[in-house]
Amino acid sequence: MPSINPERLLNDLKTLRSFGASGNGVIRTALSEIDLESRYWLAQRFADAGLDARLDSVGNVFGLSTNPGPAVLIGSHSDTQPQGGWLDGAYGVVSALEVARALAEDPATKNFGIDTVSWMDEEGTFFGCLGSMAFCETLDPAVLRTATDADGRRLADVLVQAGLDRQPPVTVQPERQVAYLEAHIEQGPVLDDSDDRIGVVTAIVGVREYDIHFIGEQNHAGTTPMRRRKDAARAMIALASDINQRFPETASDVSVWTIGSLSLGTDSSSIVPGEATMRLQLRDPDEDVMDRLESLLLEIVAAHDGRHGVRVECQPGERLRPAPMNESAQRCLASAAERHAPGRWRRMPSGAIHDAQILAGRLPSGMLFVPSLGGVSHSFAEDTDEDDLVLGCQVLCEAAINIIKEHTR
Amino acid sequence: MPSINPERLLNDLKTLRSFGASGNGVIRTALSEIDLESRYWLAQRFADAGLDARLDSVGNVFGLSTNPGPAVLIGSHSDTQPQGGWLDGAYGVVSALEVARALAEDPATKNFGIDTVSWMDEEGTFFGCLGSMAFCETLDPAVLRTATDADGRRLADVLVQAGLDRQPPVTVQPERQVAYLEAHIEQGPVLDDSDDRIGVVTAIVGVREYDIHFIGEQNHAGTTPMRRRKDAARAMIALASDINQRFPETASDVSVWTIGSLSLGTDSSSIVPGEATMRLQLRDPDEDVMDRLESLLLEIVAAHDGRHGVRVECQPGERLRPAPMNESAQRCLASAAERHAPGRWRRMPSGAIHDAQILAGRLPSGMLFVPSLGGVSHSFAEDTDEDDLVLGCQVLCEAAINIIKEHTR
């Protein structure tokens, strides 16, 4: 069984970190100059590993195997948040490169097909999961015309400026690519808290968002008696409190819900607010659980609607279905995890969105997590023990081999 | 007993409305060109009524009686909110003018001293109750140097531009001025709901404000399990809900409390907020009730502080003591009200701030309210039945006469 080269893995990770390094973190947002530089460097590393390397029309970097037979596509993204950690995405990309190199060096696996990839803009500088959606042919073509970044720069212009618009698109080859694997930091505290070293992802959670509007009557905060008020803030507080008190009855162990946005139509200590809005986000790996939470939400909204003269309206927003990971990919990852970290791995959902959620629609997909120290991510402070980085890559390597073996049996 | 002239009262009110008229409302913010124009018109009306008329160094308009003996100062403000009603303030100013004229026309009262006034900037375009504070010598001199409006225009510059800085200041004359009376629309629904026509104000409420800060930990809304969250929004919702549920135990019939400002340190559906702030305002005419509500608030804050890892800090802000109205002034207003609207008047606190709150520190002060239709104010829709406008002015007139009689007995 081939072994990955820990030093080479860590060195390449550190070199990638140097593109956009800022303190312990990295600033390498999608299609920035430094992101493009790092992608050409990555393409060179893929080529050095004997892969057919190229950037496609949206800036995805591919290293395609020239071996005949089934291939496993492995990768993640190398763009970062505006203040990103050094491992988020980068770890999965460099691990894919290392797996390709390890297999190529071992006579027993040198003919195995490993495709590597770094997806463009998973973090949504222009449009979240842009690259993986383009590859999977699920990207709405309008996005390429209309998407802009927070500064108003048009994605289309930036792609032209980078010369990427002339590159041919690269799309999924389901007859050749038999699976997609992605390694990633957990971005949460579950592994770090439990002292487990590997997470085998069972599903990437679904997301549902709701904008809840409260329409009362704006009034003078001194002269309007309490019983006469149609106070939108008060109604919002009461309903939000009910959500927080009643959701645990219906939620699963891994359900999360967040009120990340709250606002009033007025902002004055002397005005009874006439309007208020809050946004609620639910995440759960199980569509049935999300259905039950949604029913409970609508029941709570109906119960509050009209109380003290305040109308309540609930408007559904973003809606992403959970993406279960492929059973066979999970099994291959789990057996590799048990061999290399016996008793110290677990199955778990991913609460964060990943490119694997997009890929799962086109290829049997699997994901593995390594621990995030303190559960921290999207922060310069993000980090993982080097031993865990090495272990995760070794597990990924063995899982890829097992998948290819299953397909060539 | 002199009678006011209803037609003259309403005509002058309508003329004053024409300065800055906008639909049914008025835009005549303090020290705007139209506000200054209206003040020179008012000064002329005061002079026509035989009063010694002048604008002072902050733009207060006075009509001082030249009669010897005690005088009652009567007035209100004629500046408006950015979108103001036509009666808020203006009604009290024109009523004062009409009372002065009515007394001057009646041989029995023509030697009675009535001073009239329109205060500058009660509504706080630059600084709330600027004019009455300057008159009462309670204005912090720094305000004149530093106050600006929402557009950043400096009060000092605007006063120079208007030529007001060269006018001598006018200050309270407690040896001559024996009382202050102010008529005002209620700006609330109490009279309109109860079908009473006059409110005799017992006290202007005190105000206390508190900024409550919640300091938790910002986190990823997908990957952070519920039990691990230090969610500042959740803590704020729970505490605000407790306030709304527990305050009624301790509040008086006329206590009001308002959460008019709520904000989160982040505004994203995918981020667990690490910081949140809300502002609570209390109003009550009774200092003891406010003390008890404050104790309860601090008890609630202490109970929530540290729950789920979120620190809670409560920072007191603005603090205005209740201003009880003078007993004798109340009695004079009440007996006049009972004579002209038997059984259809009530004693009541003022939930809104008025210049009388400032004056009460220097002169025995009284206030009367007329109904606001639907309780609406600070709005173009603000209105009052003409019959009530006339009645209020007549009651004001008789109360002023009775006060002067008490002082010349």
Residue listed under structure tokens 């992608």: A39
Residues B7-12: what's their mean pLDDT? 98
Q: Which residues pair with B323 in a beta bridge?
A: B204
Q: Is the dihedral of CA A236, A241, A242, A243 positive or negative?
A: positive
Q: Are the beta carbons of A36 and A142 closer than 8 angstroms? A: no
**Confidence check: pLDDT of B409 > 80:** no
Q: Say if residue B246 is exposed, middle or buried (CB neighbours under 10 Å; 0-12, 13-18, 19+).
A: middle
- What would the DSSP string read from start to end of A146-176? H-B-TT--BHHHHHHHTTGGGSPP----TTT
Confidence band (pLDDT; 50, 70, 90) for A259?
A: very high
Confidence band (pLDDT; 50, 70, 90) for B406?
A: very high
Rounded distance between C-alpha atoms, residue A116 and residue B250, angstroms: 67
Distances (CA, A) of B391 to B6, B133, B186, B338: 9, 29, 14, 11
Interface pTM, i.e. ipTM: 0.88
**In this structure, what DSSP letter does residue A374 have?**
G
Three-state DSSP at B349 gives: strand
Predicted confidence at residue A17, as pLDDT, reads 98
Predicted confidence at residue B342, as pLDDT, reads 98
Q: Which residues pair with B117 in a beta bridge?
A: B62, B75
Q: For residue B224, give the chain A residue with the closest CA.
A: A188
Question: pLDDT tens digits, residue range B98-112?
Answer: 999 999 999 999 999
Rounded distance between C-alpha atoms, residue A311 and residue A302, angstroms: 10
| Pairing mode of beta strands A271-272, A219-220 | antiparallel
Structure tokens at A146: 């209309």
Q: Give the number of other CB atoms < 10 A from CB of residue A175.
A: 7
Q: Give the number of other CB atoms < 10 A from CB of residue A157.
A: 11
Predicted confidence at residue A106, as pLDDT, reads 97
Chain A contact set for B293 (CB, 8 A)? none
Structure tokens at B345: 């008047």
Model pTM score: 0.88
| Residue A262 neighbours by CB under 8 Å, 6+ apart | A236, A240, A276, A277, A278, B233, B262, B263, B264
Three-state DSSP at A333 gives: helix
Structure tokens at A242: 């009910």
| Residue B290 neighbours by CB under 8 Å, 6+ apart | B206, B208, B282, B284, B322
Q: Are the beta carbons of B134 and B58 closer than 8 angstroms? A: yes
Q: For residue A273, give the chain B residue with the closest CA.
A: B260
Predicted confidence at residue B292, as pLDDT, reads 98
| Residue A242 neighbours by CB under 8 Å, 6+ apart | A300, A303, A304
Q: Is the dihedral of CA A151, A153, A159, A161 positive or negative?
A: negative
With both helix axes pointing from N to C terminus, report the angle between B232-250 and A232-250 in degrees, rounded to the nearest 10.
120
Confidence band (pLDDT; 50, 70, 90) for B379?
A: confident
Q: Test A188 with B225 for CB contact under 8 angstroms.
A: yes
Predicted confidence at residue A379, as pLDDT, reads 87
Q: Test A259 with B234 for CB contact under 8 angstroms.
A: yes
Residues A182-194: what's their mean pLDDT? 97
Question: pLDDT tens digits, residue range B198-220?
Answer: 999 999 999 999 999 999 999 99
Cα within 13 Å of Cα(B106), Cβ side: 18
Torsion of CA A239, A241, A242, A245, to 10 degrees: 170
Rounded distance between C-alpha atoms, residue B337 and residue B339, angstroms: 5
Torsion of CA B17, B18, B23, B26, to 10 degrees: -50
Structure tokens at A342: 């016996």
Question: pLDDT tens digits, residue range B225-238?
Answer: 999 999 999 999 99
Question: pLDDT tens digits, residue range A51-68?
Answer: 999 999 999 999 999 999
**Confidence check: pLDDT of A274 > 80:** yes
| Residue A250 neighbours by CB under 8 Å, 6+ apart | A289, A292, A293, A296
Q: Give the number of other CB atoms < 10 A from CB of residue A342.
A: 8
Q: Is the dihedral of CA A280, A286, A287, A290 positive or negative?
A: negative
Confidence band (pLDDT; 50, 70, 90) for A377?
A: confident
**Confidence check: pLDDT of B1 > 90:** no
Chain B contact set for A238 (CB, 8 A)? 241, 244
Residues B295-305: what's their mean pLDDT? 98
Q: Mean pLDDT over all residues of chain A?
A: 96
Chain B contact set for A222 (CB, 8 A)? 187-188, 205, 207, 256, 283, 350-353
Please state, for a pLDDT cut of 70, what percent of chain A lies above it: 100
Please state, for a pLDDT cut of 90, what percent of chain B lies above it: 96
Confidence band (pLDDT; 50, 70, 90) for B74?
A: very high
Q: Which domains does chain A have, with CATH numbers?
A: 6-205+322-408 (3.40.630.10), 206-320 (3.30.70.360)
Predicted confidence at residue A56, as pLDDT, reads 98
Q: Which of A252, A258, A262, A320 to mutate to test the interface with B (most CBs of B within 10 A)?
A: A258
Amino acid letter, residue B8:
R
Q: For residue A275, give the chain B residue with the closest CA.
A: B260
Q: Give the number of other CB atoms < 10 A from CB of residue B142.
A: 8
Q: Please give the sequence-ordered ranges of beta strands (E in DSSP) within B234-274, or none if there are none.
A: 256-264, 271-272
Rounded distance between C-alpha atoms, residue A279 and residue A303, angstroms: 18
Rounded distance between C-alpha atoms, residue B253 and residue B263, angstroms: 30
Q: Test B268 with A260 for CB contact under 8 angstroms.
A: yes
Residue (of B188, B199, B392) closest to B283 by Cα position: B188
Q: Test A267 with B260 for CB contact under 8 angstroms.
A: yes
Inform me whether the C-beta atom of residue A188 falls under 8 Å from chain B C-beta atoms.
yes
Residues B289-302: what's their mean pLDDT? 98
Q: Test B233 with A262 for CB contact under 8 angstroms.
A: yes
Q: Mean pLDDT over all residues of chain B?
A: 96
Chain A contact set for B128 (CB, 8 A)? none
Q: Dihedrals φ, ψ of B378, to 5°? A: 50, 45
**Confidence check: pLDDT of A408 > 90:** no
Three-state DSSP at B332 gives: helix
Which run of H or of E encompasses A395?
Answer: helix A386-408
**Confidence check: pLDDT of B118 > 80:** yes
Question: pLDDT tens digits, residue range A218-236?
Answer: 999 999 999 999 999 999 9
